[in-house]
Amino acid sequence: MPTFVYMTRCDGCGACVDICPSDIMHIDTVTRRAYNIEPSMCWECYSCVKACPHQAIDVRGYADFAPLGHSVRVKRDEEKGVIAWRIKFRNGKKDMELLAPITTKPWGSGTPQLRDVEAPTQEQRDSQQLFNEPKYIRFDEGGVHTLESNGLKMKEGVYY
Amino acid sequence: MKYKTVVEDNIDILVCGAGLGGTGAAFEARYWGQDKKIVIAEKANIDRSGAVAQGLYAINCYMGTRFGENNPEDHVRYARIDLMGMVREDLLFDMARHVDSAVHQFEEWGLPLMRDPKTGTYQREGRWQIMIHGESYKPIVAEAAKKSADKVFNRICVTHLLMDDAKENRVAGAVGFNVRTGDYHVFKSKTVIVSAGGASNIFKPRSVGEGAGRVWYAPWSSGSAYGLLIGAGAKMTQMENRIVLARFKDGYGPVGAYFLHLKTYTQNGVGEEYESKWWPSLQEIVGKEYLDPELSHSTHRPIPTCLRNHAMIQEVLAGRGPIHMVTMEAFQDPHLEEIGWHNFLGMTVGQAVLWAATDVDPKYENPELTTSEPYVMGSHATGCGAWCSGPEDVSPPEYYWGYNRMTTVEGLFGAGDAVGGTPHAFSSGSFTEGRIAAKSACRYIDDGKADGISVSEQQVERRREEIYKPLETYTVYRNEITAGSVNPNYINPRQALDRLQKLMDEYAGGVTVSYMTNEKLLNIGLKKMKLLEEDLEKVAAENIHELLRAWEIKHRQMASEAVIQHTLFRKETRWPGYYYRGDYMKVDDANWHVLTVSRRDPETGEYTMEKAPCYHLVSMDEEEAA
């Protein structure tokens, strides 16, 4: 749904401008607050909604097929590692709260620094292995699958 | 001109576009090139860029070999069947044999993969899909890429690849501009991995006005993977193989979890099962080899996605629409109901918004489905992209020229949507392809293949002028008119996009013609495409944001021209339900069991088309039996 920004909540910090994948959240030069400059290029991905520190951004369903009066709000918490949603129907009959984890590790702690791991050997360079392979493929002693290991052949012709 | 030129020199590996493919490339490059200079250029912010920006609720490509579930060749067969035979099985096998190691690392990085409480294995949605809490899928993999890269340039729209002036057909970097500052960025690099996006918004969408943003594939997927590669003279393959998606109407919410996990099913407007009645007539088009419902029933051989689309399209045309997804049964189970909603919130929030806006509670009402406008991409259930070399231990000679995932331009590699013939890679497979490409690129450099690259000032200057021309055009002609957007000297990017979408829709098999085209229509389309190309020389940009849109439409136009050329070349209807060649309404294995390969001459703009052999991965037993 195209996003919009509440005047009283936005302080023009630009977090939405920084994150929008479509480059459509910009700061209005008169009000010094953010707004959606191109609703027809908005994927309603909620990246800006999640990034806003003041919950100043919301969405209103696309005018060409979504009637007014609904609400889908979200709060994403990296520290707690969860995201909380609330969905309210136009007719008021449904009001759902849904919670989901977003990570299982303290933020940024799980990814490795490959500059510091032991450098690959020439044999590994010449092989078909990628980083952490073959171990991470199956967690067994076996190697990377090949045509030979799997009893296969590349063959020209019509096969279904 | 007021914009600075910012030069980043001595790059070893330049990653253009850091969605899942690009993050995989940057990540892996650091391992094989610990002393190499790795740079990412990304149009948006890599924390939320690419098709996975919004998140995903499933990883659609996971073998599960460690749990004894599938082998790589099983997935190759699945992709072959789904794409009616037209795939690069060497690349697919290669992706499938590595993809699990990527997924296992994602779990280690903190991505919440669901587990089956009974077996301890990952929670399967279908044979290939595992369920995840993937709202932060992209920021998590971006962390890994950021740790590996020397520099990440966010908000750089890469417009062109730089070519080596010392040696023909060798890449030398890329250029673009910063969409915030407007500065001109020059990246001089020994290798380039193009991992930019496929193309949404090249066919007229069903939605109008604001809703045009609610496309199935992200609106920022501007076909740059193709624009950059075609522009550099790389050979492309299977560009005719656009994809049409059967999805929840208007919101284009995903149906995979609904079909596979929630066990919902479809019916027509009067509550009947409708697919099977279309099989006999469809069998006349594709032959029993490609559609055998009895065999499918007894052996679980999948019915290709396009053929199921065909049944839906025909049923609606026969006047028995709309097609409904029967959710009312599954949604009585509160657990399944919750999954149904989470599925949207995790990857297509807009569908949840739409149901909330229209009071559609799938517990009490079966929602509508529709078939989308076509999209051109190479990682979902279709395989458009560059003609790339495969791995040396798998590929036959026609598919192998030294470096895995290298295009036909030296030093230029692809991943994700950029690589042709590798459908069903999805997020994990695209990431894996990025890893493969990165290792190859390091090897290419270590082999001395990138020595002696030279980029002339002239080339850098020529591209600079070209990039800013839309701003110049606006400045020169804007004041000839009083106000508004109607100007006899230029069109703006939105007007150009509208023209492209209308043209592609009407002549190349879009939604308003029920995906039908033929040689005459395609030739008219091609003629109009050339005129659009000429007019794009006069596209005007009022500001830097519009300059971004101007270059996006130029990339989309390049991708679209390739689509028409390829569609014209393949004289058969290979994928009924994706598109129809009305003048050749049958699958024609005698002449067209081949891959289509094109090259656009960067100097003249002329296309040359050729057929490439289609190799299949067969088991030794199968071969003996044959």
B437-458 residue pLDDT tens:
999 999 999 999 999 999 999 9
- Is residue A1 predicted with pLDDT exceeding 90? no
Give the pair of three-digit tokens for residue B91: 């690349």
What superfamily would CATH give domain B5-240+375-446?
Answer: FAD/NAD(P)-binding domain (3.50.50.60)
The answer on A97 and A138 residing in a single domain is no
Report the DSSP beta bridge partners of residue B132: B113
B166: which strand partners?
A: none
Q: Token match 């991505």: residue?
A: B111
Residues of B within 8 A of A4 (CB-CB) are none
- Say if residue A78 is in the same domain as residue A48: yes
Is the per-residue pLDDT at B1 higher than 80? no
A7 touches B: beta carbon within 8 Å = no
Q: Do A155 and B615 touch (CB under 8 A)?
A: yes
Q: Which residues of A touch B435 (CB under 8 A)?
A: 130-131
Q: Looking at the domain assignment, is residue A107 inside a domain? A: no
The percentage of chain B sitting over the pLDDT mark of 90, rounded to a whole number, equals: 97
* B210/A37 CB distance under 8 A: no
pLDDT of residue B228: 98
B392 CA to chain A: closest CA distance, Å? 9
Residues of A identified as active-site = 43
Q: Which of A47, A69, A101 is the last residue of a domain?
A: A101
Mean pLDDT value of segment A33-42: 97
Which letter, b or e, does each residue of B534-544 get, where b requires 16 or more Cβ atoms within 10 Å of its Cβ? eebeebbbeeb
Of the candidates B50, B213, B354, which has its C-beta nearest A42's C-beta?
A: B213
Residue A154, in any domain of the structure: no
- A68 and A88 together in one domain: yes
How far apart CA B54 and CA B351 sit, in angstroms, is 13
What class has domain B246-371? Answer: alpha beta
Pick the closest to residue B38 from B138, B152, B175, B160 (CA basis): B152
pLDDT score, position B212: 87
Cα–Cα distance measured from residue B184 to residue B223, given in angstroms and rounded to the nearest whole number: 21
A17 and A95 assigned to the same domain? yes
Answer whether residue A151 is part of any domain. no
Q: Beta-carbon neighbour count of residue B584 at 10 Å? A: 17
- Which residues on A lie below 8 Å from B136 (Cβ)? 78, 83, 102-103
Cis, bond preceding B117 (omega within 30 deg of 0): no
B24-76: per-residue pLDDT in tens? 999 999 999 999 999 999 999 999 999 999 999 999 999 999 999 999 999 99
Question: For residue range B114-156, what is the model confidence (pLDDT) as tens digits?
Answer: 999 999 999 999 999 999 999 999 999 999 999 999 999 999 9
Question: What integer pLDDT is reported at residue B213 of this predicted model?
Answer: 83
Say yes or no: A122 and A76 in one domain.
no
A22 and A87 share one domain = yes
Angstroms from A55 CA to nearest CA on chain B: 17
CB nearest B353 (choices: A41, A59, A115): A59
B136-195 residues touching A, CB cutoff 8 A = 136, 140, 143-144, 147-148, 155, 179
Question: Which pLDDT tens digit goes with each residue over B271-294?
Answer: 999 999 999 999 999 999 999 999
What does the pLDDT read at residue B626?
61
Q: pLDDT tier at B107 (50, 70, 90 boundaries)?
A: very high
* Ranges of CATH 3.90.700.10 domains, chain B: 246-371
The pLDDT assigned to B539 comes to 98
Q: Hey, what amino acid is at B202? A: I
- CA pair distance B20, B435, nearest whole angstrom: 10
The predicted model gives A90-105 an average pLDDT of 97
A80 touches chain B (CB under 8 A): no
Spatial contact of B65 and B30, defined as CB atoms under 8 Å apart:
no
**Residue A150 in domain:** no
- Whether the model clears a pTM of 0.95, i.e. scores above it, the answer is yes
Question: Could you read off the pLDDT of B209-256 as tens digits, one per residue?
Answer: 998 888 999 999 999 999 999 999 999 999 999 999 999 999 999 999
Q: Among residues 336-365 of chain B, which lie with CB inside 8 Å of chain A?
A: 338, 341-342, 345-346, 349-350, 352-359, 361
Sorting pLDDT into bands at 50, 70 and 90, what band is A108? confident
Mean pLDDT on B552-559: 98
B163, B232 contact by CB (below 8 A)? yes
pLDDT at position B622:
74
Q: Are residues A95 and A122 in the same domain?
A: no
Q: What is the pLDDT of residue B625?
A: 67
Q: Are residues A12 and A44 in the same domain?
A: yes
User: What pLDDT is attached to residue B2?
Assistant: 86
Q: Which domain holds residue A25?
A: 3-101
- Mean pLDDT, all residues of chain B: 97
Query: What's the residue count for chain B?
Result: 626
Residue intervals in chain B for CATH 3.50.50.60: 5-240+375-446
What type of residue sits at position B155?
R
The 10s digit of each residue's pLDDT in B190-215 is 999 999 999 999 999 999 999 888 89
Between A100, A115, A155, which is nearest B34 by CB?
Answer: A115
pLDDT at B623 over 80: no
CATH, residue A40 = 3.30.70.20
Flag whether A51 is in a domain: yes
Distance CA B194, CA B388 (A): 12
CA distance B399 to B393: 11
User: Is residue B511 predicted with pLDDT exceeding 60?
Assistant: yes
Note whether A125 and A62 are same-domain residues: no
User: How many domains are contained in chain A?
Assistant: 2
Chain B contact set for A131 (CB, 8 A): 28, 31-32, 435
Residues of B in contact with A78 (CB under 8 A): 136
Closest CA to B14 of B3, B33, B4: B33
In a domain, A156, yes or no: no
| pLDDT at res. A156 | 94
